[in-house]
Amino acid sequence: MRNRSLSPATRAAQALRMIDEVTGAVVPPLDLSSTYARDADYALRQGNIYGREGGPTLAHAEAVLASLDGAEAALGFASGMSAAVALFETLRAGDHVVAPEVMYHGVVGWLMRMAELRGLEVDLVDASQPGALEAAIRPGQTRLVWAETPANPSWDVVDIGAVAAATHAAGARLAVDCTAAPPCTQLALELGADYAFQSGTKYLGGHSDLTAGVLSTNQVDETWAEVATVRKLMGTILSPFPAWLMVRGMRTLFLRYERASENALALAEWLEGHPGISKVLYPGLPSHPGYEVAKRQMTGGFGGMLSVLVKGTVEQTCDVVRFCEVFVPATSLGGVESLIEHRKVVEGPFSVVPETLIRISTGIEDIDDLRADLAQALERAL
Ligand SMILES: *Cc1c(COP(=O)(O)O)cnc(C)c1O
């Protein structure tokens, strides 16, 4: 494809330059149809048949994402969770799965449920320790290793290449949750992963106005066909409008991520010296245990996600969040507006997250406003 020779930032900005041949529209239309008419020979036009199986707007979104991920194929889902679940649905009773104990709580929740209901063997390990995921792999029994890097909400970093080598040596597959490190900074497939997963709700959408999930791969085989079948039969395909919004979001992905990364790094450096903070967790700080690997793996910035441990009580920690006036007190991440949350409240009573942990997602605002807001909130709360 002509587009392949262009840099990813250019391909993203032009959304693969799919200009409409008939109308000249620079932005491909939003096709909301749930069914597609056959031609005079009763043949399908462009393969489109029914909304639950796909359509041109989603196909465009998947093409843009595959191009950015360096993937042969990509699939869009109704949410990040439904994308992860479609991959887990390819596992069978007795299959062994290795995953981190600290990662997105919804994915842990699903794996534990499947361990109980369907006899999946799940090992949750401390992935902040280098080599921990690798050590838990059982050759011949492990089917899937799931990693998340940087991992929510401690932002532990996993060396994708190292885990991929151990996974493949055991005959298993590696999936990486790249939600906090989208393809503008981290190319999981190129680093060795078999599946790159993202919640499109976050950086791909970028404006906190859509729910989506994506998987991409270079292993287009029976397992991938099963993932697509699960999506079709469970009806968890990404609808046209959010798919269209996701394309719109991807056009500014590089720019937004760069700015969010700059803001997060500036805040992290400042907070590290703040008397009210006992610890700053950000992979872009040399003090973070994953810094060296992150520097190698995340070539387009360390991202907008950081967490801090407040030197105070749980009540004071919640006050810091409540007293912010620029940061929006909401969960999620990857939008243009900065968000702040008390993570344990969001994850619930079984969460392993420390009670004094605040999670921050930086947006693209002016850094001086963000810093001043946190400064006054910390001052008032502590
Ligand atoms: C949000 C998120 C998910 C789940 O995605 P949804 O779109 O909310 O279903 C999975 N992993 C990570 C790291 C996330 O942040």
Task: Give pLDDT, residue 20.
Answer: 87
325-378 pLDDT tens trace: 999 999 999 999 999 999 888 888 878 889 999 999 999 999 999 999 999 999
Ligand 1, atom nearest to 200 Cα: 7
What's the mean pLDDT in 125-151? Answer: 97
Q: How far is the CA of 212 from the centre of ligand 1 (A)?
A: 9
Verify whether residue 202 is a known catalytic residue. yes
E strands in 90-246: 96-100, 121-125, 142-148, 173-177, 195-199, 213-217
| Residues 360-370 as b or e (16 or more Cβ within 10 Å = b) | bbbbbbebeeb
CA-nearest residue, atom 11 of ligand 1: 104
Nearest CA to ligand 1 atom 6: 80
The one catalytic residue among 69, 123, 156, 177: 177
pTM over 0.95: yes
Give me the mean pLDDT over the 287-310 stretch.
98
Ligand 1 contact via 192 beta carbon (within 6 Å): no
Mean pLDDT in the chain? 96
- Averaged pLDDT for residues 128-152: 97
The closest-lying atom of ligand 1 relative to the alpha carbon of residue 213 is: 7
| Residues 305 and 178 sit within 8 Å (Cβ to Cβ) | no
CA of 80 to the centre of ligand 1 (A): 5
pLDDT at position 4 is 59
What sign results for the dihedral spanned by CA atoms 203, 237, 98, 194? negative
Whose CA is closest to atom 2 on ligand 1?
199
Atom of ligand 1 nearest to the CA of 179: 13
Instruction: Tell me which amino acid residue 283 is.
Output: P
104 CA from centroid of ligand 1 (Å): 7
Decide if 140 contacts 170 (C-beta within 8 A).
Answer: yes
Question: Virtual CA dihedral for 12, 16, 17, 19, nearest 10 degrees?
Answer: -130
CA–centroid distance, residue 2 to ligand 1 (Å): 33
> Given this model, what pLDDT does residue 352 score?
83
Residue-level pLDDT at 1: 47
- Judge whether 292 and 130 are in contact, CB under 8 Å: no
How many Å lie between the centroid of ligand 1 and the Cα of residue 246?
Answer: 15
Write the CB contacts of 337 (distance below 8 Å, at least 6 apart in sequence). Answer: 208, 328, 363, 365
pLDDT in tens, 241-298: 999 999 999 999 999 999 999 999 999 999 999 999 999 999 999 999 999 999 999 9
* CB of 199 shorter than 6 A to ligand 1: yes
In three-state secondary structure terms, 10 is: helix
- Exactly one of 52, 118, 232, 251 is catalytic; name it: 52
Share of the chain above pLDDT 70, in %: 99
Written as one letter, the residue type at 32 is L
The pLDDT tens digits of the residues spanning 1-49 come to 445 589 999 999 999 999 988 999 999 999 999 999 999 999 999 999 9
Write down the catalytic residue from 36, 104, 203, 257: 104
pLDDT of residue 348: 83
pLDDT digits (tens, 9 = 90+) for 158-215: 999 999 999 999 999 999 999 999 999 999 999 999 999 999 999 999 999 999 999 9
Name which residue sits closest to atom 1 of ligand 1, judged by CA.
199
